[in-house]
Amino acid sequence: DTEVTQTPKHLVMGMTNKKSLKCEQHMGHRAMYWYKQKAKKPPELMFVYSYEKLSINESVPSRFSPECPNSSLLNLHLHALQPEDSALYLCASSRTFPGHFSPLHFGNGTRLTVT
């Protein structure tokens, strides 16, 4: 069982919809991440939060809006997405960031389809 929980598991949304992805961890980790993954490719980093502050934004389009309400929760708000945004969205956490000795723990992801 993964220690990082993501909801929902699957999401289908139209290009005019607004939806949110949610992620939760209770390992006391102070760094949380959003990744986007296309089929059989490595995950691509989108955002990093360290101590609830946005640390890295990998030039992600503004239609993706992250939020970190507290040290255990991470949200990704979606608005006006494009079909090419369809992918597996993975949340991860680690003890610290940067974390040379701190491996990432991943959730099972949200499979997003934009129609």
Nearer to another protein, 64 or 97 (CB): 97
Which 33-72 positions form the footprint of another protein (CB under 8 A)? Answer: 40-43, 45, 48, 55-56
Peptide bond just before 69 cis, omega within 30 deg:
no
Which 76-105 positions form the footprint of another protein (CB under 8 A)? Answer: 90, 92, 97-105
| 93: nearest Cα among 103, 85, 83 | 103
The least CB distance from residue 30 to another protein, in Å, is 14
The least CB distance from residue 82 to another protein, in Å, is 24
What's the gap between Cα 58 and its chain centre? 13
Contact between residue 13 and residue 114 where contact means Cβ atoms under 8 Å apart = yes
Q: How far apart are CA 99 and CA 40, in angstroms?
A: 26
Q: How many residues bind another protein (CB under 8 A)?
A: 26
Contact between residue 107 and residue 9 where contact means Cβ atoms under 8 Å apart = no
Judged by CB under 8 A, the stretch of 2-10, 11-19, 68-76, 77-85 that binds another protein is 2-10
Binding site for another protein (CB under 8 A): 2, 4, 6, 40-43, 45, 48, 55-56, 90, 92, 97-109
